[in-house]
Amino acid sequence: MIALLDTIAMALGTLRGNVLRSVLTLLGIVIGASTVVAMMSLTEGLRLKMTTDFAMLGAGAFQVQKWPHLNFGPHDMRRYEKRPDLTREQGEAIRTLPHVAQVSIEEYWKGNGLEVLSTAERATKRDIGLCGGLPDYEAANGVTVAQGRFITQTDVLLARRVVFIGSDVADILFPKMDPLGQELRIRGATFEVVGVAQRQGSILGQSKDGFAVIPWTVYDVVVGKQRNTNIAIVATSPEEAPKAMEEVIALLRRIRGVKAGDENDFEIFSNETSAELFDNLARMVGAATFGVCALALLVGGIGIMNIMLVSVTERTREIGVRMALGARRRRILSQFLVESVALSGLGGLAGVLLGAGLAIGAREVFEVPASIPAWAVILSLASAGGAGLLFGIYPAARASKLDPVEAMRTE
């Protein structure tokens, strides 16, 4: 143990004697370690935020849609266009399934349903999602009523011109006033505000509170009847959601005439699928980051091997004297290996601190989500130390094999 501590102290002393050279040698290691920590911190923070933000459905709820809910990478949209529309009749058929508690049949104008809502004094931009829906919308989409009430079945049956709005709509159209009972206009038709949703926050910088829901019977008159609908389903319990999903898929395949072995001509979306999507994205980013890290560590490792070979050449006489005084080859080998690992370890530590600082700085200054995972720190330090060990073996072995007599003759 004493011999090991003595070797470590000697290695650190050598590094202190060549500070500038050691720092320049460490740049590759520092870049590699800092890249892993910074990128993995940002990716992990984004993944956690997306998992929370995309939990937009209620407990035990999932959606059936004609179009993919989230798209990353190239997609053949013409293939989706050829799919048959999802209809109200198909949504009503889903209500009969044993593990289905509620079905929200939702209409949106030309897919996104973005509309302008206005009062006599104010108006929103064309960025408010207007839905023609049913009372089931509330549970299926995880909406919480902050003021007033949600639309009711009576509103739907009597085609009442009432509207339930998100908090962004209330802030824009009715600042510093109670929105309940106030009137707003949609495509020239007047609606009474009966409820306001609790604020839900944003996702990727886009607010989730810019929406409004009106009874679908009124939607057909004011906006126009839509051929395609979205269908949101609430299972009898969160635990029964997988069974409900299987039942819905089987029913729709039969109703829509999908042949055995063919893929579904509709999309299933749930909170779990969005989390899985971002997990896959995080893995892709992680793979790219590790590629950059491996390249930086390779460059840094070659730099360490080069500087250690130079160190062996510069200290040939010292090595000869130590061997002449009784130092074994194993001691010489361990000294240079420890020196190499210590050098790379310091670079790894500096890289971890730099990467963590960058991630925290981005979080505090630019409000970018960042969470430093412990495994990234451990991996960076282990990779740096491993690079030092791997690339330090040859210089250490070369030093240990020097002939003492010839080494002492070196000037």
> Cα separation of 159 and 156, whole Å?
5
Q: Are 400 and 330 in contact (CB under 8 A)?
A: yes
Determine the pLDDT at residue 363. Answer: 86
Q: Are 104 and 231 in contact (CB under 8 A)?
A: yes
Parallel, antiparallel or unpaired: strands 145-148 and 189-197: antiparallel
> Cα separation of 211 and 209, whole Å?
6
> Cα separation of 59 and 44, whole Å?
24
Determine the pLDDT at residue 119. Answer: 95
- pTM (predicted TM-score): 0.65
Domain residue spans in the chain? 2-52+277-409, 61-270
Mean pLDDT of all residues in the chain?
84
pLDDT, tens only, 222-265: 999 888 899 999 999 888 989 999 999 999 999 999 999 899 99
- Distance linking the first and last C-alpha atoms of the chain: 33
pLDDT, tens only, 350-373: 999 999 999 999 888 877 788 888
Residue type, 71: N
CB-based burial label for 120 (10 Å; 0-12, 13-18, 19+): exposed
Q: Are 55 and 374 in contact (CB under 8 A)?
A: no
Instruction: Report helix, strand or coil for 235.
Output: strand
pLDDT, tens only, 385-404: 888 888 888 888 888 887 76
